[in-house]
Chain A
Amino acid sequence: MRGKLTIGVFAAFVASVLLGTADLSGQASGGRAPVKATGGPRTPDGHPDFQGVYDLATLTPLERPEALGTSLTMTTEQARKLEQQVASRRDVLNRPSDANRGAPPIGGDGSPGAAGNVGGYNNFWIDNGDAYFSIEGQKRTSIIVDPPNGRMPELLASARARNAARLIQTTSDASEDEHDPGLEKGAGAYDDSERRPLGERCLIGFGSTSGPPALPVLYNNLHQIVQTKDTIVIMNEMVHDARVIRMNAQHLPPTVRKWMGDSVGRWEGDTLVVDTTNFTDKTRFRGSSDQLHIVERFSRLDDKTLLYRFTVEDPSTWARPWTGEYTWPKTDQLLYEYACHEANYALEYILRGARQRDRERSTGRPGNR
């Protein structure tokens, strides 16, 4: 009975969305923002005090899964079911393994994605959230709020061509073994360290964890804000990256490029607005160019939660800007040092592995001794 009522309410909401009677806050420049708390601590110079450590982990993905259509929210009941699924799965996986197990199968264990057919590692290393985040009591199905379907806009055809052209290396020969599901297929993907993802090179954290825009990732979603009158720092655990935001300042000239761009900030009432440009042409957030421009807006939802809203634009990559928002809940947990380059065995082994494959191909001999 309760389930039927919930579905009914949900259906009504979906209907109201389709009829346009529900505002999904889709506009890039603001739209209807959630009601902000006016109380809360302030810094001595009178601005809201956002300082502290935040854990951004959430089950809500950046993009809404296809199955959900256009609904930005789901009911608490629906979210709870999904959250329980995740919790149950983790409980099952917590159980002991067979003490007499053998090695996994030759040819791989079928694990998809970057687990690379070799199963990655144990799940106890992962920390990516227990719940979908809520805004104004409504569970969100995606971080992206605009476009209204909760998905990034398509890349421009010219952007796709540009990105494909970046991968061509004249010194590279055939692409990796088509039959090896663990390998990336692009030609030359393992030719040089510069071809590897920035996270794998320990240049910046993977998955846009620092951004901007900062996004939740598989683990280490802790970020610390330190706030002074002239400078605000967002310290990102991975890769010990401090984004230094110069308040009321001008952007650097276009010749100066930074991995996380150049950020300047200002207050609009009780909202901190951070404007970032001057990205390198290798940062390439979601396939973008060095023309990437991010605007972030931080405001207080309640005493323990910030609302983090961001707009992404790059006219040479997307035909229109897109916007996302999610919550940054405070945590008592501590950030720990994430020195990455200092022990980056993996990058060396990945490249050595590729050179092994090259030797195998050239000698025609399988395996190596």
Chain B
Amino acid sequence: MKQKQTKFFLLASLVLIITIAVIYISIFRLQVGSSVSAGWWIKSVYDYKEHFTEQIKEPKIIIASGSNALFGVDSRVITSITGYPSTSLSVHAGLNLDFLYFKIQKHLKQGDILVMPLEYFYYYNTEEILSQWFVSNMIAWGETEYLDKISFLSYLAFIANTPKERILNGLYHLGKKSKLPSKNEVMNELKEIHNKKNYKFYGYSHRSLNKYGDILAPKRPNDVVSSIFFNTGEDYTTTNTELDPAFLADFEKIQKLADLRGAKLILTWPVTMRNKLFDLGTEPHQARVSLLSEKLSENGVKIECEPGLFNLHYKFFLNDRYHLNSVGANIRSISLGNCIKGLIENRVETYTFESSLEKVKALEAKYNYGSSGLEWKEVDKTYSAHLRPH
């Protein structure tokens, strides 16, 4: 009798705890997509970028990372140098690698070249499994992009990482008008902007995208840039030398995808700001970057090109240590384009930190305020030849 009572007690506890968990999950699901404040612009930017990518016939170059490639890559320059039409699926480094995987797998085809200039923090172990920014954004606009595609266990882990306050906020905003323009609205608006041919920078907005899905921001006055960037940027790399196991697992997944689809994967360095706190001409920073390269190599991951080629003077930056202005994007794209071309043609060009910095400094001097020197009409021809017929 006593044993029966005890078993009932345990069973009832279990059932009640599971019931409460189910109620909690239901509440979570209910508020997914509600119009809380989040990085809604990212979704619209992806809408356009993916639309643009879908128009390109393979083989193509896809650049996928965080915002260092949204602001720091001019796809036309890459196209001009490599002869491959180039597109970028890079928007925000707060989106984790697993999310990038979902984006890449929608567009990667046979013969494509996937270039990943990942920001440094993608590599390192952080306390946070999922950042609260990422969680909040996925709940806001990532339902069909991400949440619906992850496994049940990952979904539960996702719920466990969502702050209760965020769920309450979601419930509070339930039923309010969505902050997200429809995909059609985004396309129409950008079509109109691109037809006017007078490109304007609208900040963090899909309206800042050019025809090729890049944001090429204007150069800011030198004194403003100096005041912001002269002393920032030291924390690109970290003294924590352990690679994040989640990075290695996700990267392996992307590598397998590339192999399966017959595509080439190139992992490379992000852009960095050269100032007195981070200068790849100096030994301590070279050592930290080299250490990352070694750690990756120990885990069977090769990182291509020279990091010094992307270590640009701070005056080529916009508003963040990873965000270049249009002149910086041009210089970076030339270096990146040449590197990709070398890898495609199996030409191995080795640089030291010093020689790569000399090269980038020469580019900085050449394009300081001027244009890229490329014939855009020729570039458009390359794209046109690869665009799908409507």
Q: Do chains A and B stick together as partners?
A: no
